[in-house]
Structure 1
Amino acid sequence: MHTQFPPEVRQHLEHKQTVVFSPEDRRLIGTAGYEAPSEDIVTDAVLAIYLGKNVLLKGPTGAGKTKLAEHISALFGLPMHAVNCSTDLDAEALLGFKTLQHNALGQSEIVFIPGPILLAMTKGHLLYIDEINMAKPETLPLINGVLDHRRSITNPFTGEVIRAHPDFRVIAAINEGYVGTVPMNEALKNRFVTVEVPYLQGEGLHMLLQKNSILHDEKLLRTFVQLSADLLALIEMGQLPDEAGSIRALLDACDLAAYIPPRRAVQRAIADKLEDERERAAVMNIAETLL
């Protein structure tokens, strides 16, 4: 089990699997099964988490960053609380909010409902911040103290100082260069160890499609692996956007191809998502050549 890790890390992971959580918290533990393009990706991310570092997963959309975070959650046996960043993200979405409730005596009282960050901090769980560079620049400095050596925050809604449980860990994910994203400032970036997550290719991709798609035609699965390679070649030349290489989209195409003609499956799952007509035509040209 976990043979690629040093003995002390293996022992730690095995011990964490024995920790008992409430049924509610256990449902938050991710599912293992991330297929890595390189073993170093999982090894380095796990080692960083073991050492108490914040990990930034950097890669194109659909490369499996969220799946890797869930995989790490499963390896450590840590429930995972997710924050999905957007331009609308505010302090309440991150930290929690006050609301009116009735107590056991039927009296109304104002109570604070903790958000994902405070829950993860106080329970010693894993915090996953998805698309961290989609948040407004003025929002994330709220949690700078959570991400550095202080591992604490003053709750702006209650004035209470919250200090993180020793098991608290943080993973964030970033898609660079997409519409609506902003460059991470240096203060925030310096709080993370960065792990590149590229698209899976070759035999690893074939195994993933075999395992996760309802399509069982081996010849067709191999053709979809080649389709992915050809799409990535055009992406590298700047002729297609990153989303054309999404593994999620490729899986969708495989599933559809179990029931409809493969070229139409590629059109529905990959080509029609693209805005530019020339990009859609480029995808379909590859599909027509292979399929």
Structure 2
Amino acid sequence: MSTTAPYYHSTGKEEEVFEHACRNKIPILLKGPTGTGKSRFVEYMAYKLNKKLLTISCHEETSSTDLVGRFILKGAETTWLDGPLTTAVKEGFIIYLDEIAEARPDVIVAIHSLTDHRRELFVDKLGKTFKAHEDFMLVASFNPGYQRGFKELKPSTRQRFVALTFNYPEADHETEILVNETKLEGSVAKKLVAIGGKIRNLTELGLTETVSTRLLVDAGKLIHSGLPKRLSVRVAVNEPLTDDPEVLAALNDLSDLLI
């Protein structure tokens, strides 16, 4: 576990909710766009509560076997290797399933018995059921706006969690985050935040995703290391958002005016 607290700027009652959910053994679902601090928040709370954190970045190939465990060949013998979920259940860790909706459906099936009063994990390959450790905590994140209609969580799954919504910080808070994360001067960080705010309001461009705080932090780091400001914004903010030449030109024109 890190000896230094991860930087996190609280914007509401999310810390209090997390602590109470943990105390009452209720899993938590963090909802919101990419790059709004969901993962950092979990890291911060794990540090604050002095708990070990295991993070799984879910994708379309993530299966229950990846989480629960598998048999492996070790020399001439076949042995069982616990997956991160099983380890967390046994040892009382926080497990964070980042972008859970991206995982295969069998992952949701695997965690169902951990998200209700049973708090137990059935490992079918072993024919065993493990009761969750007293300190075990399940946290998942979900981006409701991403591929809407294709990557949704079923109501029966969502209602097993308490939920917190994350969004882009207010301008003053986002500026403070950038200064802390990138060591930029406040005036430059403020300009980056203004660029992010303007692009987020350009709904007519039809962007699938918009500017996350993470992208602004990346741009800030490049600027702080000496890369020209306009180039930093183009490669760290605008280019990752679109491949459309006309939309990209519009974003570049806008950001060049503001930086």
TM-score surpassing 0.5? yes
Letter of the 2:58 counterpart: C
Whether 2:42 is the aligned partner of 1:76: answer: no
Alignment of 1:244-259 (within 5 A): 244-258=210-224, 259=226
Whether 2:242 is the aligned partner of 1:268: answer: no
Per the alignment, residue 98 of structure 2 pairs with: 130
| 1: CA distance, partners of 2:84 / 2:199 | 37
Shift of 1:286: 2.1
Task: Work out which of the residue numbers 113, 118, 121 in structure 1 matches 2:89.
Answer: 121
Alignment of 1:48-59 (within 5 A): 48-59=21-32
Q: The residue matched to 2:105 in structure 1 has which SS? A: coil
How big is each residue's C-alpha offset from its partner over 1:118-138, in whole Å with a ceiling of 9 and x where there is no partner? 011000110100101111234
| 2: CA distance, partners of 1:228 / 1:42 | 26
240 and 260 in structure 1: CA distance in 2 versus 1, 3 angstrom threshold: farther
Per the alignment, residue 287 of structure 1 pairs with: 255
Q: The residue matched to 1:98 in structure 2 has which SS? A: strand
Gaps of 5+ in 2: none
Alignment of 1:170-185 (within 5 A): 170-179=138-147, 182-185=151-154
How big is each residue's C-alpha offset from its partner over 1:217-268, in whole Å with a ceiling of 9 and x where there is no partner? 332122112222212222xx35353643211110111111231221111100
* Aligned sequence identity (%): 25
> What's the Cα RMSD here?
2.0
Aligned residues: 256
Gaps of 5+ in 1: 1-25, 103-107
Shift of 1:275: 2.6
Structure 1 runs (4+) greater than 4 angstroms displaced? none
TM-score in terms of structure 1 length: 0.81
| 1: CA distance, partners of 2:208 / 2:34 | 7
Task: Work out which of the residue numbers 35, 41, 47 in structure 1 matches 2:9.
Answer: 35
TM-score in terms of structure 2 length: 0.91
Q: The residue matched to 2:230 in structure 1 has which SS? A: helix
Alignment of 1:14-25 (within 5 A): none
Whether 2:178 is the aligned partner of 1:212: answer: no
